[in-house]
Amino acid sequence: MVRVLCLGYSVTELPGYVERANALAEAEGRPVTFLRSGWGGHSLPSVAALIDEILDAIPCDRVLLELFTGNVRYFDGATMRAYLDDILAATARRNLPAAFLNLHQGGVDYAAEPVAGLLAEYRALYGIPYLDIAEPVAAAGAGDITYLLKDATHVTPAGADLYGLLVYSFLRAPPPGRAYIDRFRDLPVRFEALPLRALPGLSCGFALRRNGIPLDFLEIPEGARVAVPLGRPRDVIGLLVTYGPQAGTLTVQDPATGRTQALVAYDEFSYYTRSMFRSVTLPAARALTLAQSAERPDIALRKGAPDPGPRIGRVSHVVCRRRLSLAQRAARLLHRLRRGLRRIGLRVGLARGA
């Protein structure tokens, strides 16, 4: 049985194209099964930070990366490439063929947006194939596409059928996305995601199972302060927290320096509980102190009434940037240099062929 991991955001997380692709495989008697790791509301940084944990938790034979819906277009091209490199380095270390999936998102000008060019670049430079559902759906936008989409991004049952059919057809024969592996497998790992359940003296009693991997959260009651030991100096760049009805403002402090940052872990969708990555910059921290404020965010929910009870903060991972050696930094620089030269060569070749 060939296992295809569909790794992406909310369209992948919710029931839809994964189930339809599996139904088609079963109907044809194909020895393929589609697995799911969906991170609704997340973006490239959290997937890049957690990619090793995801791949360790969900054994697979191929990976379909649905990474381009959601808020990726606020990254510049260099930043987007760097995060994609982190993700592809992890799949390459496991010798996994990879492909990209580009899904529709309302409000994007698909004639001018940067992702399509980026996908074409990765296909030309590294042989990574992609399935582009975004452009044909956008092209149909002059007509009535509400039978496919229930909002700007998420599919109706008919949309799930179409997406599932296209994904299954795309992966029915093995895609060629193995050529990239030799160019990515030796890239050094930039991030380290520390699960708090593995740190001494912490009890992580709140479990969330939305994403295909176990997330166990340390809970910080309103008014409480919890010390999180990091073992050695680490460059903290973010936390994995929950947004939800009881969330509010979580304060993160480096007790050695007094540097403090406040995170409002609440938004208009906090009528349900979900994980979110939040950026925090605390370099060389040996420990963190987490404190939960009693303040209730003044943010209107899309539906339902706000929870009037005490606030509670939850943290499952501390994400750190690794301190790379000179040789490791040189390896990443050489990778970027080679890509730049290959991109120039590609543009020159296209110009000559025009």
pLDDT in tens, the chain (354 residues): 999 999 999 999 999 999 999 999 999 999 999 999 999 989 999 999 999 999 999 999 999 999 998 778 888 889 999 999 999 999 999 999 999 999 998 888 887 888 888 999 999 999 999 999 988 888 776 567 888 888 888 999 999 999 999 999 999 877 778 999 999 999 999 999 999 999 999 999 999 988 888 899 999 999 999 999 999 999 999 999 999 999 999 999 999 999 999 999 999 999 999 999 999 999 999 999 999 999 999 999 999 999 999 999 999 999 999 999 999 999 999 999 999 998 888 777 655 554
**What are 212-240's pLDDT values in tens digits?**
888 999 999 999 999 999 999 999 999 99
What whole-number distance in Å separates Cα of residue 246 and Cα of residue 272? 9
What whole-number distance in Å separates Cα of residue 73 and Cα of residue 114? 8
Element of type H or E holding 279? strand 274-292
- To 10 degrees, the CA torsion angle through 315, 317, 319, 320? 110
Does residue 283 contact residue 259 with C-beta atoms inside 8 Å?
no
What whole-number distance in Å separates Cα of residue 157 and Cα of residue 130? 23
3-class SS of residue 238: strand
What whole-number distance in Å separates Cα of residue 54 and Cα of residue 62? 13
Encoded tokens for 198: 């593995």
**What are 278-317's pLDDT values in tens digits?**
999 999 999 999 999 999 999 999 999 999 999 999 999 9
Q: Which residues contact residue 145 at a Cβ distance below 8 angstroms, ignoring those fewer than 6 apart?
A: 137
Does residue 108 contact residue 134 with C-beta atoms inside 8 Å?
yes
Does residue 67 contact residue 28 with C-beta atoms inside 8 Å?
no
3-class SS of residue 337: helix
The three-point CA angle 58-61-64 to 5° equals: 80
Element of type H or E holding 98? strand 98-102
Does residue 99 contact residue 105 with C-beta atoms inside 8 Å?
no
pTM equals 0.93
Q: Which residues contact residue 298 at a Cβ distance below 8 angstroms, ignoring those fewer than 6 apart?
A: none
